[in-house]
Amino acid sequence: MTALETSLSYLRLWTSGASDDAWALLDPDVVCVSPAGVLNGRDAVVAFMAPFAAGLVSSELLGAFGDDERALILYDTATAAVASAPAAELHSVVGGRITGIRIVFDRLPFALARGDVVPKPQA
């Protein structure tokens, strides 16, 4: 499989209720740079992704490109908390396993939905 095929398999699996098969595509030593910080290892990435995958209502692939070693995908997601939460992921892939992830998404609607932040009180 090319890097892009691996990435698209990973996305298809965790967005379609087959999360365990998705996580199997993660290298045990995968490093994920996320807006919240660096996640080291498959267990840390799964702990980050699994609750989100479990709450997913729908998803849509918006763009996907890659070469032999890397893939860059953009997709939209819908959950009960946030109706549209697009994300981009840059994957490094070695031997059919994802060894590096750089994920970008907007934390603001999630932080507001959880109540981690609140709009500034009006003076």
d(CA 108, CA 16): 25
Q: Which stretch binds a second copy (CB under 8 A): 12-20, 23-31, 44-52, 101-109?
A: 101-109
Sketch the per residue contact string, 19 through 58, with a second copy: x for CB under 8 A, - otherwise. Answer: ----------------x-----------------------
d(CA 110, CA 96): 32
74 binds a second copy (CB under 8 A): yes
Please choose, from the candidates 55, 50, 56, the residue with its C-alpha nearest in 3D space to the C-alpha of residue 76.
56
Provide the 3-class DSSP secondary structure of residue 2: coil
Answer for the pair 81, 110: CB distance below 8 angstroms, yes or no. yes
CB closer to a second copy out of 24 and 94? 94
Binding site for a second copy (CB under 8 A): 35, 62-67, 70-74, 86-88, 90, 102, 104-108, 111-112, 115-121
